[in-house]
Structure 1
Amino acid sequence: MLAINEIETTCERSQGELEHSSEQIAETLDQILRSTRFKDSQQLQTLLRFVVEETIKGNDENLKERMIGIYVFGRRPDYDTTEDPIVRSRMGLLRKRLAQYYEGSAAEQSSVQIVIPNGTYRPVFVSRPITKGKRTQSLLGGTKPAPMSIPVITNIVPAIETPQPTIVTPDSPPAALSPFRRWVGFKAASIAAVLAVVLVGAWWFFLRPQQQEMDALWAPIIKGKQPVYIYTGTMPVYEPESPADEASSPADLYWPIRVPEPPTADLPKMGPNQVFSYGEGMLTGSVYADIRVSAFLSKYNRTPVMRSGPDLPYMDLKGSPLILIGSFDNYWTRVMNESLPFYFDRGFGIRERAGAHRRWHNPLKAEMTPRMMDDYALVFRVMDSKAGAPVLAIAGLSTCGTHAVADFVTDPVQMKALSGIPKSDLLSKNIELVLHTSLVNCAPTSVQVIASKVW
């Protein structure tokens, strides 16, 4: 492996002389991100993925300190790089982790080494032709060791005939199995194959049909190797007297909710009579949904990346499946929902865009009291979203509705309500559902699908 001081003088030549396919580089990148050095640091994973992918695309203008700060770390376009050295500090840590990775055994079979030279944020891809076996031979002088001479004792007949061990030297071919051993091996393999088929069939017959609708709905989210993001909406501790999205006249109820500017990571806005700040509070139904969905994903060996408030740079969304929790308190839910067949309107309701223009709303939503006996919610899954990856939203009109939807999409029994939708549509098409839930003290007692759209 190249040492750090050697890389600065050799990587430029290697970049010009060595050609690596994007598939080789992508495979190496995936191996690195799954290694013990990187799997516990989502920030370093995002940083490394960004600089490698932008280099492959030839977008050198995005490999500047300011652009990395904006796209990877969510900084404002006018942030002061001298006062905020996050890119430089994380890049130094990234170089150190890469060097440690290539010193370990996990990188022995990698044919490409990703190097980020000092003084630049543009990685280069260095060929690594020496494998572990070749390195061992070079340490022994580069010659193949001669086979050891083993004496064979003859003319000794044992009292009881027993099978003799076969002595295999490095140059001797493997001994052929006897017909009897081949027959035994064939029978054992056949029995194992039959047992495997029986077990798989039993699993399919008794368990799989019970959750096939749920698996089909979630398949686009949990498949692949990209991290799964969960973004949860937050509510300000104090609000202005007249929220910007509240309906001001009956005519406003027919228009989709206005999508506001995304929340920023600035300090709270101070005024004489109010403090208005994002990210200070999270609704209980959203917290429940976070826990429920995270536990559900763990069954598929997927550990989600949790985000809330302004803590979701747009770069993180590109190509990664996204789960949205919450409705009016979630900026990204409103962005993804504004043009769908069923949408959240300004009157805290759900409206049908075409057809009968039906509308569902809860007059007690603003109170959030135990008097709430029912609520409505939206579930939508968009396959090719604005983020370039599948998006699944779990959004009730109130926190109680969000609680109910989280139970619905993770319960195979409740998901049988989607049995009327063809499985091929559940797997590959856009889906939007309007749900009604009955409540007792904000806890759901039943959920029904009252409207749906598949396209």
Structure 2
Amino acid sequence: MNAVTQEQEKNSMFESGLTPPQPREACLDALARVLASQTFAKSARLSSFLRHVCVTTVEGQAVVLCEQHIGVAVFGRPEHFNPADDTIVRTTARLLRQRLAQYYAEEGNADALRIAIPRGTYVPVFVLATAMPSPTAEEPALPLELSVAATSPKSAPVLRDRRLTLGIAALVVVIVVVVLAGATAWLGQRGPSGVTTFWTALLPADRDALLVVSDAGLVLYQLETRSQVSLEAYAAKRVGEPLVPPDLGHAEHFRARRYTGMSSVQLAAELGKRAIAAPQRLHLRFARDLQLGDLKRANVILLGVAQANPWWALYRSQLDFHIDWNPQQPDQFLILNDHPRSGEALGYAFKIDDPQRRGFATIAYTRGLGGDGHALLIGGTTSAGTEAAIEFLVDPARLAPLLKQASLADGSVGSFEILLQCVLQANGSTDVRILGFHLHQS
């Protein structure tokens, strides 16, 4: 029997047993190890499937994991697709179970916590790979002769006593394992994870947090006038004043437009889920209505690059990654890296009609302008890039390993930046890759 077959049988045993709940952070770490392995490195489809079902389960939403939901969420199928005609979910689930068995038989053989997806369901379980205790020298295993002698009336009391002793010992072992696992889960829930620490610092109970959404009307105005509005003019509500009189209509048209993108709605919904300490302290603010003093008194989540949210300029000196727009070439962006690390490029050029269907996005977590708060800046070259950055940010499996690197000695999360490349796939999903990750002294 080969190693993979043995591992498949072990997984079957896992699937049939009752397992105690595992700590959230441990489950995400188990997922991160699998996704980072060579076994899964070249299988984007299996990785996406596994990431989605695991994160959904850890978030307490496992009830939605049916064939229809996964087909839409993972494979980009339309809402009305028929799983009876399109078996992609079942086929991929079967391949995923085989690939997990291969991983735990080889690379993940030493993993203490393992992921299994029982047959007949798409809800993963996280199980401890603790082996049953081996017989000790003081309590040897029953020899074959003693098992045969059990038919003898004389040996029956001895055998019953020995079996009772072994049964009690096994029961004690099971109780200890369950109690330890439960205690680990309880401590894991009480001790904040890096992801929890990050969101708690950004959305605390004792400080306001402002979500400043992008100004799509400003983008349209700049495209029409082939000009770029400075932060000074934008903050002073003087947009359009330098223009010659025939062009003032553009400025009036701009003032009547108060638009924002769907990514603003997406981020507002996600932040609402995470503002559990004080939901009433999370406020929504349109970029055009913001005042400089607001940024000094509160934590801020700034959405949109400088073209759509000029307030970004206030944080530029703290950042390495920038997405700059040239009004004379309105279909182009330049993504700059002020301090490239080993293996990183100085910059990237982007065009709206990129034949490779690429986009770029940045996520930055830095100091607030008041010196005692935090700022989170999210922006992309297109709305799809911004949405991909938001999805990356709210995905614990992707974010947790980076937050671990950004953790400081006191347990808080230090300043960091992420540069992402987003490639739109034929099935409608977006493949996201990290091009750069920079840590800064807080």
- TM-score between the two structures when normalised by the length of structure 2: 0.47
- TM-score between the two structures when normalised by the length of structure 1: 0.46
The structure whose Rg is larger is: 1
Structure with the larger helix share:
2
